[in-house]
């Protein structure tokens, strides 16, 4: 490598006893205790979201009959390939102290829900979910879909206010770099920098309380939207 390249040495001894692996395990153990004892609402809501995903997914037949059932509707695709893995990802993020990624996962779930719900709603005559999604995406005539419009459509269809507002908060505060930088600057100004500003994995402390509460509030709003959309299609 040239002097300007990263000189990364391969570590062939990257085992379970490696210091970084031990740090991850220790962080998970300490954060699990912290969430259970000091952030009970967030902890219980994460577990509830995971259980919701399980409850929705068990409607599918087991074994070889499962795939055709999933292929029928975009809703089934959302449950199995978006809601289930990403709800577990939220749990993992929470355990390692990766607060920013919790919000990222929530936005992924919300945007995927909107697209899959609207695809089923608008194109129920199509046999497979891929065709329904293709038809929905074709509405933009090759342009990138306006996600804000999708949120408006989802609000109108579900008769549920606040969906677009949640999406905007997730986007502006946690997806766009400016939002994250503003929070870092604000934390530095108040001299109460949470650990995720500096390193991940990390362990929670009182400086994380504000962000954990926000996680809990946004997650609860997301769960209401998910339940409303999936229950309305039964």
Is residue 141 one of the residues assigned to a domain? yes
How many independent structural domains does the chain possess? 1
Closest to 167 in 3D by CA, of 227, 114, 118, 119 = 114
Could you tell me if residue 3 is inside a domain?
no
User: What is d(CA 96, CA 77) in angstroms, rounded to the nearest whole number?
Assistant: 28
Residue 7 belongs to some domain of the structure: no
Distances in whole angstroms, Cα of residue 172 to Cα of each of 99, 145, 165, 175, 216? 15, 18, 10, 6, 18
The pLDDT score that the predictor gives to residue 106 is 98
Tell whether 11 is covered by a domain: no
Structure tokens at 108: 């992924």
Domain that holds residue 101: 19-232
Burial of 116 (0-12, 13-18, 19+ CB in 10 A): buried
Q: At what angle do helices 209-232 and 147-158 cross, to 10 degrees?
A: 60
Let me know if residue 14 belongs to a domain: no
Q: What 3-state DSSP class applies to 75?
A: helix
pLDDT tens for the chain, 234 residues long, are 444 554 545 555 566 678 888 999 999 999 999 999 999 999 999 999 999 999 998 876 555 555 566 778 899 999 999 999 999 999 999 999 999 999 999 999 999 999 999 999 999 999 899 999 999 999 987 777 789 999 999 999 999 999 999 999 999 999 988 888 888 887 777 666 788 888 899 999 988 999 999 999 999 999 999 999 999 765
* pLDDT at residue 228, rounded to an integer: 96
In a domain, 80, yes or no: yes
Residue 97 lies in a domain: yes
> Comparing C-alpha atoms, which of 66, 67, 164, 70 is closest to residue 114?
164
Domain presence at residue 65: yes
Contact 167, 151 (CB under 8 A): yes
- Integer Cα distance of 231 and 56 in angstroms: 10
Q: Which of 154, 181, 179, 184 lies closest to 169, judged by CA?
A: 179
């Amino acid at each position: 490598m040239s002097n300007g390249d990263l000189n990364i040495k391969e570590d062939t001894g990257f085992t379970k006893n490696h210091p970084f692996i031990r740090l991850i395990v220790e962080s998970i153990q300490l954060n699990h205790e912290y969430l259970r004892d000091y952030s009970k609402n967030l902890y219980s809501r994460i577990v509830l979201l995971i259980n919701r995903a399980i409850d929705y997914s068990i409607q599918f037949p087991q074994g070889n009959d499962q795939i055709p059932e999933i292929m029928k509707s975009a809703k089934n695709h959302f449950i199995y390939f978006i809601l289930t893995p990403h709800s577990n990802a939220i749990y993992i993020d929470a355990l390692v102290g990766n607060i920013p990624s919790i919000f990222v996962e929530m936005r992924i779930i919300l945007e995927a829900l909107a697209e899959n719900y609207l695809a089923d709603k608008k194109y129920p005559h199509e046999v497979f979910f891929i065709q329904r999604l293709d038809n929905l995406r074709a509405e933009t005539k090759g342009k990138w879909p306006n996600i804000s419009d999708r949120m408006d459509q989802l609000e109108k269809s579900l008769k549920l206010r606040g969906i677009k507002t949640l999406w905007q908060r997730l986007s502006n505060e946690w997806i766009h770099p400016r939002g994250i930088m503003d929070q870092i600057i604000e934390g530095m100004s108040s001299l109460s920098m949470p650990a995720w500003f500096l390193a991940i994995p990390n362990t929670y402390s009182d400086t994380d309380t504000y962000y954990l509460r926000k996680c809990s509030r946004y997650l609860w709003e997301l769960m209401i939207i998910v339940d409303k959309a999936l229950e309305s299609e039964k």
